[in-house]
Amino acid sequence: MTTWHVDPSTLGAWVEGTTGPLASASVEQHLVKCERCRAAVAGLVRIEDVPGAWDDVLAEVAGGAGLAERVLVRLGLKAGDAVVVGAAPVLRIAWAAGLAAVLGFILVASIAGHDRGLALFLALAPLMPVAGVAAAYGPSADPSYELALAAPYRMIRLVLLRSAAVLLTAVPLTVAAGLLLPLDGATAVAWVLPSLAFTLVVLGAGSWVDPWAAAVTVGAGWVAAVAVSARYGDVLAVVAPTALVGYVALIVAGALVLALATPTWRLDGQWSPMQSERERT
């Protein structure tokens, strides 16, 4: 147990960065073991300064920002937000190239065989944005999630910004592919509603399970529903008006869950109960 404590003046100087290297090393070594002094440091740090310091660090990192970060900054995001959002592998060129390749395959298959092509399109189109969102955050997909957890950055903000960035890429490309298929206009875009519903379900479920697990479960259920509709009836039954009502209900439920719960993981990659803002601070 610690039998001495750092005096307040030294702690204040350390917080301000005016202590020398030897004194700083001594204070930092002591803080690792002394809860009382850590609490004293917390009282010396102004909370309003923390986000600014975080933005300064991220802005410095953004000096070597990639294409995704530069585009996000041009779209209006702050440099700090752009770095955090752009760190997701799903926002790299490989994601867009893979998405375009899958859509090209669907387009060729649909032209070659209308019925099977339609079933393939309806099975995969709504899941494109869902897969992108699941790959945008979470312990199994995000190589920088430890940094996001340790940083004074709200997880819900990270999730929403990355999800919006993924949807801005996936939805327009998929809509364009649908309009190129030999389908009527309503059918070509009808998948958007279930896709939005599934995306919100995955985001809401991310408060309890890994997003990838939720996405795989939702995707398997959707593909099974499309396959059953195609085998025993009309494949368009999955986007019939009665089905669309159910998707609207899922959208409302997913939005409510997302508004009330925030995805949170421990540093070991396991889910932990949501912390309050005071606890995170």
**Separation of alpha carbons 151 and 170, rounded Å:** 29
Give me 124's structure tokens: 């995969």
Question: Computed from CA positions of residues 141, 61, 157, 38, in that sequence, does the dihedral angle turn out positive or negative?
Answer: positive
Task: Please write the tens of the pLDDT for every residue from 213-239.
Answer: 889 999 999 999 999 988 887 888 888
DSSP 3-state of 233: coil
Do residues 103 and 177 lie in contact, with contact meaning Cβ atoms separated by under 8 Å?
Answer: yes
pTM equals: 0.62
Instruction: Give the mean pLDDT of 85-94.
Output: 65
Give pLDDT, residue 209. 81
pLDDT, one tens digit per residue, over 149-188 is: 666 667 777 778 888 878 877 888 788 777 777 666 677 7
Backbone phi and psi for residue 234, each to the nearest 5 degrees, phi listed first: -100, 125
101 in Cβ contact with 94 (< 8 Å)? no
- Residue 271: beta bridge partners? 265
Which two tokens mark 200? 């919100």
3-class DSSP assignment, residue 119: helix
DSSP string, 120-186: HHHHHTTHHHHHHHHTTSSTTT-TTHHHHHHSS--HHHHHHHHHHHHHHHHHHHHHHHHHHSSS-HH
CA angle 100, 155, 41 (to 5 degrees): 145
**CA quadruple 170, 171, 176, 178: dihedral sign:** positive
Q: What pLDDT is recorded for position 204?
A: 84
DSSP letter string, 11-42: HHHHHHT-S-HHHHHHHHHHHHH-HHHHHHHH
